[in-house]
Amino acid sequence: MRNHTGLLLLILILVLVPVLVYWLISSRIIIHSVDVRHLAQLRSIETALELFSNESGGFPPSDANDPTGAPYCGAMKLAEAVMGRDLIGFHSRSGFRADGLDPNGAARLYPGNPDTDNLTARKGPYLQAENANAFRLVDVYGKGNTGPFDEGLLILCDTYPQKRPSGKKTGMPILYYRADREGTAHDVNDPDNPANIYDYRDNHVLVGLGVPGEPNALHPLSDPRRFYLNTMGDKSPGQSRPCRPDSFILLSAGYDGLYGTTDDVCNFTWKYRE
């Protein structure tokens, strides 16, 4: 009987091990192919931002709020800059206001049915709509779960789709941070140092919305120190400097949907540090 049991176990092992190995290899191939697609998306966004900069005299802002103090973070300003707020182009008179009005609050720049004059004032869009992976905030987080942000605000999502509380399949928002060229620091120990080249607060409230559909789940990037640890460059011995200190950072949550973990995909070499 023991011999029969041992033989059965051996047969099971011989059958299951190849299946398990095949499953693991297939999973890695799928993840790698999605990573490659997402890196291509980040390169397209980089090109779009360069085109925006050439036409507008600089990269778009990424501050946490708009000029009136209303919540309107880096990820949302990225989407407006490269696609407009309606996917048909950025309005040249935009002041990046959360309400979509001009800098004086007098005119709506992104009406539902833009006229010829409005369209003439547009720039871009700098990405093709079908490649932008653009969604409304409510599509990702669901009604009532967008915190202080207007649920209709546009964001660009990564290429790791999951079913969301809204019923749609989306990736997570791509976070955008513009470098402050007057900054001199990358202070891991003091995230609020006003001399920091990058400001973690640009997207901190958005990160604080947590994981869609998982009310108690937090992103590791909720700890400001992790932002500075994992965006630190390696080519400045003796001095803490960020990656890409003269331009901008694009940061996405990767396959696991969590910001600040080992599989995050960015427009620089991601170094996960504890």
Q: How far is CA 204 from CA 63, 126, 143, 221, in A?
A: 10, 26, 20, 8
Model pLDDT, residue 49: 97
As a whole number, the mean pLDDT across the chain is: 89
Model pLDDT, residue 270: 82
> Domain map of the chain by residue range?
2-266
pTM strictly above 0.75: yes
Tens-binned pLDDT, residue by residue, of the chain (274 aa) = 555 676 666 676 666 655 444 434 334 444 445 667 778 899 999 999 999 999 999 999 999 999 999 999 999 999 999 999 999 999 999 999 999 999 999 999 999 899 999 999 999 999 988 888 999 999 999 999 999 999 999 999 999 999 999 999 999 999 999 999 999 999 999 999 999 999 999 999 999 999 999 988 999 999 999 999 999 987 655 568 899 999 999 999 999 999 999 999 999 988 888 7
Question: How much helix, strand and coil, in percent to the nearest 5, is found in the chain?
Answer: 35, 15, 50
Model pLDDT, residue 29: 40
* Host H or E run for residue 224: helix 224-230
The 10 Å CB-count burial string (b at 16+, else e) for 143-169 is eebbeebbbebbbbbbbbebebbbeee
DSSP helix/strand/coil, 242: strand
On the question of a cis peptide bond just before residue 125, with omega within 30 degrees of 0, the verdict is yes
